[in-house]
Amino acid sequence: MSAPELHVRGTAIPGLLLVDVPVHGDNRGWFKENWQRAKAVAAGLPDFGPVQNNVSYNGDRGTTRGIHAEPWDKYVSVATGRIFGAWVDLRAGETFGAVVTGEIGPDTAVFVPRGVGNAFQTLEDATAYTYLVNDHWSAEALDEYSFLNLADETVAIDWPVPLQQAQLSDKDRRHPRLAEVAPLAPAPVLVVGRTGQLGRALVALLEERGLPHRAVGRDELDLAEPASWPEALRTGKGLRRYRAVVNAAAHTAVDEAETPEGRTAAWAANATGVAALAAACAAARVPLLHVSTDYVFDGTLPLDHQYPVDAPVGPLSVYGQSKAAGEAAVRALPRHWVVRTSWVIGDGGNFVSVMAELAARGVDPRVVDDQVGRLTFVEDLAAGALHLVEQAAPYGTYHLTGAGEPLSWAEVARRVFELAGADPDRVSPVSTAEYTGDRTGVAPRPRNSVLDLSALRATGFEPHDHVELLGTRLHADGAGGTARG
């Protein structure tokens, strides 16, 4: 009676998917699994998290509804009867105004993504039309809806029953023509940690690409104090309209975290606060991208090995322990990306800018040579994080650092001196034990911070070589002088 297995087909509208649904019939009638999450996702449908099931009963042939584009995804099917379906892309982009039409019966379903206009006309009396949606209607979000007139001449839908003879609502008759429709923008991204170096880089990239977003700092959402958050954020109600939440905030004072006060602050921001944010995202059914660190590993892996994403964690420091706890909280969220990074270089004071300053001032530094890793320039980190969100990459854990040959901190310092026109031999390599000496309150660092990037590369993102980007950064800042980092 239908396809033996669930089968998903693409269409001319990106994200609009036709689904062949197995229907099993006998002398009593028929049966189908209208939505079975595991099978649907395995077949290629998005794991879109429906929260409501609606049914529209239509008594007469020719009943016509639409064209409505709403700020949520929907999975449409027919329980009884048949319909002529019409879908128009009302999202901003090259496919704005693209049309897909076709007959739909019990053996076919359609996944309609946010911003694609949905309409149907019944081809039989007593047709029941059903749809799952992944958000609830809200009067506060009416500006995120879009509508198109069923008789629009530009899309020119060939309705089986002429609209003059069809049954329409007065409201549907009054919808605007395509020339008057404002394209629906993508759902915005929420950036937590607006004032940090990664938060600033994310905002700059989102603005450069013209992507809708909102960024909040500690004045609006202090990770360390979930009780102070606005109720809409704390409960998740204010997150439902977001495409994703990107957590770029953290307590990163590694040595300070070894003190009694710092330990409390690190756990509050990196573990307790992250767990509260994950719970809010779970309530809103919004994906969370959380940035973590190589410090969740103990660094004892041989230096010619790289840490895979599924390597057991074993943090040495309070900072690493608090970040590992935050990761665990995020993994309880079905829709998440945990992005581990290392040796981040941003637009503030950092190791590279300090070394360039010392080179310019004639200071000869002692730098540890038994900690190995790769630099991660914050622009690369921001671009990779947004890539996972924009491409709807498979949920899970990723490593995102610069690419290329791993170096020790001493080797990085020598490269900086050389690029700044100074003698690299002025850098004296020392062991971590020699460098720290008898100092107390210094957090233990991983000896090996080299992270395997293969999971990230499988999504289509290739980080820059960290040594090449180091040269680009220093030349942009003025090699031979002071680098800003």
Rounded distance between C-alpha atoms, residue 330 and residue 247, angstroms: 11
Class of domain 7-180 (CATH, top level): mainly beta
Convert the pLDDT of each residue in 65-115 to its tens digit: 999 998 889 999 999 999 999 999 999 889 999 999 999 999 999 999 999
pLDDT given at position 351 = 92
Cis peptide before 67 (omega within 30 of 0): yes
Rounded distance between C-alpha atoms, residue 193 and residue 36, angstroms: 38
Contacts of 215 (CB under 8 A, 6+ apart): 190, 191, 194, 199, 202, 203
Largest CA distance in the chain: 92
- Classify burial at 183, counting beta carbons within 10 Å of its beta carbon; exposed 0-12, middle 13-18, buried 19 or more: middle
Annotated catalytic residue within 68, 251, 290, 399: 68
SS3 274: helix
Annotated catalytic residue within 131, 295, 307, 398: 131
Class of domain 189-477 (CATH, top level): alpha beta
* Residue in the structure block whose two tokens are 């660190």: 293
What phi and psi, each to the nearest 5 degrees, are found at residue 255? -75, -40
Q: Domain-by-domain residue ranges, the chain? A: 7-180, 189-477
Tokens of 151: 């008789």
pLDDT given at position 280 = 95
Contacts of 351 (CB under 8 A, 6+ apart): 343, 345, 409, 412, 413, 485
Q: Where are the beta strands (DSSP E) in 323-445?
A: 336-341, 344-345, 366-368, 372-373, 376-377, 396-399, 407-408, 428-430
pLDDT given at position 135 = 82
Rounded distance between C-alpha atoms, residue 320 and residue 322, angstroms: 5
Is 387 considered catalytic here?
no
Is 295 considered catalytic here?
no
pLDDT given at position 39 = 92
Helices (H) and strands (E) in the chain, counts: 13, 25
* Residue in the structure block whose two tokens are 């990106």: 14
pTM for the whole structure: 0.84
Instruction: Tell me which residues of the chain have a pLDDT lower than 70.
Output: 1-3, 139-143, 438, 476-485
pLDDT given at position 485 = 24
pLDDT given at position 484 = 25
pLDDT given at position 84 = 97
pLDDT given at position 483 = 29
Convert the pLDDT of each residue in 321-336 to its tens digit: 999 999 999 999 989 9
* Contact assessment for residue 448 and residue 303, using Cβ atoms and an 8 Å cutoff: yes
